[in-house]
Amino acid sequence: MLRERQAQELSGLLKGESFEWSVLILDKDGQDVISPLFIMTDLMEMGIVQCLKMEDIREQNLETRAVYLIKETEENISRILEDVKMQLYSKIEILFTGIISTSLLKDLAFKAAALKEASRIVRITDAITNISLLHESIYTMNMTKSFVETVQLAQKYITTGKDSCAERAMEEHYRALSNNSIDDSLTLSKEEVMNEHGEYFDKIVMGLSSVFKNGPAPAVFYNHPIAKKVSSELLDRLSDISEVMEKQRPNKPKKMKRPVLVILTRGEDLVTPLYHTNTYGAMLNEVFDFSLNKLVIHNPISKPQEKKEKETYNLNRYDTFYNENIHEPFTTVVDRVNEELQAYKELSQSASINMATGNDDMVRSLIQLPDLLGKNRLLYNHMNIVLNAIKIIQQKHLDELFAVEDGNALDMPEVEEIINKVELNDLIRLCAVVFSKFNKHYAEVSALAGKRIKNSKVLKYIENNTVQHSTRKKILHNIKKMIGVQKDGIIRRVDEVWSGKTEDFSSLNIFILGGGTYDEYTAVVEYGKAHKIEVTYGSTEIFSANSFMAQIDEIA
């Protein structure tokens, strides 16, 4: 899985050539990479005894190696040079998340030499990674308002109409170039585009490069000019990386199967992120503050004497319950956490230490104790998470909204009842789903919603930018049953590429420009299982329905 591969690669870089006590120094980009992957115990096994932020005040420790995992900026270079000047560490290793420019690298070298301390910097490595792995096969580039920027980029520089991309067939990159079938239609020069949006493309290309850099370049499919530009830059970058790696290899590697990469824009399907959900991972993202696997519950359920403003949980790769249940229906998870807690109680009783038992039994019980305590803590954490989620679900009628949206037909009396008791954002989401899935009822539902949605810029935008497909492919029964008959925007395109493939691919990789969701991740994973192929799902950001609506509101 992608997450384990990245964890192994980073472990090797952080540990260095030999074990030694180290300090790890991170900026925001470095923190985003490290925090979902490692806990402090992991880092200590690599010799890292302290983690510091780039802006922290640091003390001299000449017996310690310093490792910086940072973005390649002038500000960060200046701070490193300050540490060099102060002779804080015995030696320094710098890991840049992206590619450092030649000018910035020279500036670092010249200034370190001027300080007569250049020998302290023993290693500089760039192009590490800028993606955050949130689960086995889902990653984000943590871009802010990426949907807004993607739309603005298209509005400024692309002259094609709204329907052309949504209805256009997916095409492989080199075939699209030779056929000129996906015209850039750029109204300004490449230099002007890159000056204003260079960081947008750089971050995306860097992130995708880190996914594919250790194998053959992928076959890239897309149907949008922005995706075409990303593809061109990505394949150029991977070609450069391949040339460098080939020079370092004594023997030519065996030919391997290529992966396939499907690049889509969020505009391909505006409605799916607005559906109310029922899967565990998506539900947590819906009802809580959930970012980079850090879950915050505000005003949690608690005893009066233990009242807290918030509780925080880290759902990292060691949280076996979360990892096993992220794609499961929320109701199933509620039952499962109860069952596992009961099973734990029975197991802990059988493993309890009794002084009357024999020595062998006592030893076995002592060996089991740490694992049992760890499982107990994990299950009680998720029981607390589930109880707090249920409270919000009931307050906001999210289960009722899901039932309405997930059905194959619209029950108008049920819709009329729910319209009068849900919050405005949830009502707008319901109307968006009705527009997409039950279009013949849209006018009636809009009339029932009345003044509450009359001036909704979000709904107007969706009405004006959603293509009503005249025919919908029957994708996979189990996926459709899980995510709804009409919620097939991304899977429809994935299946178009996969069912039309002319070669065997090693993996299926989906990337969304403008933001993705946990429900789409679940759909992609289910598609991969059905076709027995390894999958990854990535996006410029992973957002909740409300944060997506805020971005639509900004550009509408």
**β-strands 61-70, 89-96: how paired?**
parallel
Q: What is the pLDDT at residue 532?
A: 97
Last residue of a domain, one of 80, 111, 129: 129
Co-location of 247 and 156 in the same domain:
yes
Distance of CA 11 to the CA centre of its chain: 21
Co-location of 178 and 260 in the same domain:
yes
Last residue of a domain, one of 359, 394, 429: 394
User: Which residues contact residue 556 at a Cβ distance below 8 angstroms, ignoring those fewer than 6 apart?
Assistant: 457, 458, 460, 461
Co-location of 6 and 93 in the same domain:
yes
Residue 532's Cβ-side half-sphere holds a number of Cα atoms within 13 Å equal to 1
Co-location of 142 and 226 in the same domain:
yes
Q: What is the pLDDT at residue 487?
A: 43
DSSP notation for 401-455: HHHHHHSSS--HHHHHHHHTTS-HHHHHHHHHHHHHHSGGGHHHHHHHHTHHHHT
Angle CA(265)–CA(271)–CA(272) in degrees, nearest 5? 80
Q: What is the pLDDT at residue 168?
A: 83
465 within domain boundaries: no
Last residue of a domain, one of 411, 436, 459: 459
Q: What is the pLDDT at residue 106?
A: 96
Angle CA(263)–CA(551)–CA(173) in degrees, nearest 5? 15
pTM over 0.85: yes
Co-location of 479 and 531 in the same domain:
yes
349 within domain boundaries: yes
243 within domain boundaries: yes
Q: What is the pLDDT at residue 360?
A: 53
CATH of the domain at 145: 3.40.50
Is the C-alpha dihedral spanning 434, 224, 144, 156 positive or negative?
negative
Co-location of 122 and 24 in the same domain:
yes
**β-strands 260-265, 171-172: how paired?**
unpaired
CATH of the domain at 356: 3.90.830.10
CA–CA distance, 466 with 556 (Å, rounded to integer): 13
Terminal-residue alpha carbon distance, the chain:
39
346 within domain boundaries: yes
Co-location of 153 and 259 in the same domain:
yes
Q: Average pLDDT, stretch 62-89? A: 96
CA torsion 239-241-243-249 (nearest 10°) is -140
* Position 160, amino acid: T
CA–CA distance, 439 with 468 (Å, rounded to integer): 9
Q: What digits encode the pLDDT tens for the residues 369-396?
A: 445 566 788 999 999 999 999 999 999 9
464 within domain boundaries: no
CATH of the domain at 81: 3.40.50.2060
Co-location of 13 and 117 in the same domain:
yes
In this model, does residue 365 exceed pLDDT 50? no
275 within domain boundaries: no
Across the chain, what does the average pLDDT equal? Answer: 88
In this model, does residue 43 exceed pLDDT 70? yes
Domain interval for residue 508: 138-270+471-555
316 within domain boundaries: yes
Co-location of 98 and 184 in the same domain:
no
In this model, does residue 485 exceed pLDDT 60? no
Strands (DSSP E) contained in 73-129 are 89-96, 121-125
Query: Considering only 75-79, 196-200, 259-263, which range has the smallest mean pLDDT?
Result: 196-200
Co-location of 118 and 156 in the same domain:
no
Q: What digits encode the pLDDT tens for the residues 184-231?
A: 554 445 566 667 888 999 999 999 999 999 999 999 999 998 999 999
In this model, does residue 443 exceed pLDDT 80? yes
Co-location of 116 and 21 in the same domain:
yes
Co-location of 389 and 403 in the same domain:
no
* Position 355, amino acid: M
Nearest to 199 by CA among 311, 98, 291, 289: 98
466 within domain boundaries: no
Q: Residue 24 corresponds to which tokens in the numbers above?
A: 């790890």
Distance of CA 502 to the CA centre of its chain: 30
CA–CA distance, 24 with 42 (Å, rounded to integer): 12
In this model, does residue 405 exceed pLDDT 50? yes
Total domains in the fold of the chain: 4
